[in-house]
Amino acid sequence: MVKGRIFSGMQPSGKFHLGNYLGALENWVKLQKDYECFFSIVDWHALTSSYEDTSKLQQNIFNMALDWLSAGLDPEHNVIFVQSHVKEHAELHLLLSMMTPLSWLERVPTYKDKIQQLGNQGKDINTYGFMGYPELMTADILLYKADTVPVGEDQLPHLELSREIARRFNHMYKPIFPEPNSFLSKAPLLPGIDGRKMSKSYGNEIPFAASPDELRAKVRQMITDPQRVKKSDPGNPDVCTVYTFHKIFSPDELESIGTACRQATIGCVECKKRLAERMVTALADIHTRRIALEANPGRVKEILEYGAERARAVAAATMAEVRQVMNLS
Ligand code: SF4
């Protein structure tokens, strides 16, 4: 029996890495067993902060679909689609924007921070579209009457806003929308190969699409305990990036690796080799699926078209209701 209906989306930014997989996508793969899921590649959201150069957008959408499908999202069981293929998202966004006080959007805690942060990188996102980002997110969720939204802690204020907008709509017209609940997931935080936060802008990421040989090369470059110069020096695994990865990929061996490191009975080269093979094994099925899908891009396109068709059917029914209660039909 399904526990409820989920909507969740990701921006096709072309930066999908292993940290993103463990932070969100792996969780989706688990959730698909218990929920009816709508997973959307939210390309319009990508434009809210990257509107100037859209030349890579289609390639990024395709790559994101590959990431999702190779990770194990089932396109029959879930509705997997591209946001802009379902125009009802734009219509509901517009109608909700009529009744949302500007002050609600201005007070979203990340709003001003993000403008400043991206402004420092030379990006001007002081735009109508960027301010409306949480409004568009609300439209995405309400269009499918999703009752559950998997979010990270940083997105909780956005979801609270969605709940307020749904409440206002229900009160003003007719109660047709459920107030979406958050599903907080605890994901392991994976550092980049230099120990800082994993991010493409630092150049320290491990691409989710990395082949086994690329994975091995990335592990070889990982920063270890800087105090451990020779193999005979005892190491401190608690300050080692390799060990942080072992926590995720080698939990059964963790204690023995930690002890061997502290007693200098294992060298960093050997330790890295073990990690690399663990990662290659853990990601082998994903890699195999990706190769098969890459060889058949037409199949990926078909899956997205099929998903959009199914999403449109639900979205059209919701919009018929919305138009009726707002006297627009
Ligand atoms: Fe890190 Fe392993 Fe080297 Fe210890 S032996 S410092 S855990 S890479």
In the residue annotation, 200 being an active-site residue is answered as yes
CA–CA distance, 112 with 131 (Å, rounded to integer): 9
For atom 3 of ligand 1, the residue with the nearest CA is: 268
Q: Give tens-digit pLDDT for 116-168.
A: 777 777 777 788 988 898 999 999 999 999 999 998 888 888 999 999 999 99
Q: Give tens-digit pLDDT for 253-297.
A: 999 999 999 999 999 999 999 999 999 999 999 999 999 999 999
* 250 labelled ligand-binding: no
CA–CA distance, 179 with 142 (Å, rounded to integer): 8
Q: List the one residue out of 66, 71, 62, 82 whose CA is nearest residue 31.
A: 71
Residue 15 pLDDT grade (very low, low, confident, very high; cuts 50, 70, 90): confident
* 12 labelled ligand-binding: yes
Q: What is the ipTM of this complex?
A: 0.99
Q: Which two tokens stand for residue 207?
A: 């691409």
| Residue 188: per-residue pLDDT | 74
pLDDT average, residue stretch 21-48: 94
Full set of structural domains in the chain with CATH: 5-190+297-325 (3.40.50.620), 210-285 (1.10.240.10)
Catalytic residue among 15, 114, 247, 273: 114
CA angle (325, 167, 150) in 5-degree steps: 115
The rounded mean pLDDT for the chain is 93
Beta strands 79-82; 36-41: pairing state = parallel
- Residue 186 pLDDT exceeds 90: no
In the residue annotation, 114 being an active-site residue is answered as yes
Asked whether 135 lines ligand 1 (CB < 6 A), one says: no
Q: 24 and 69 in contact (C-beta within 8 Å)?
A: no
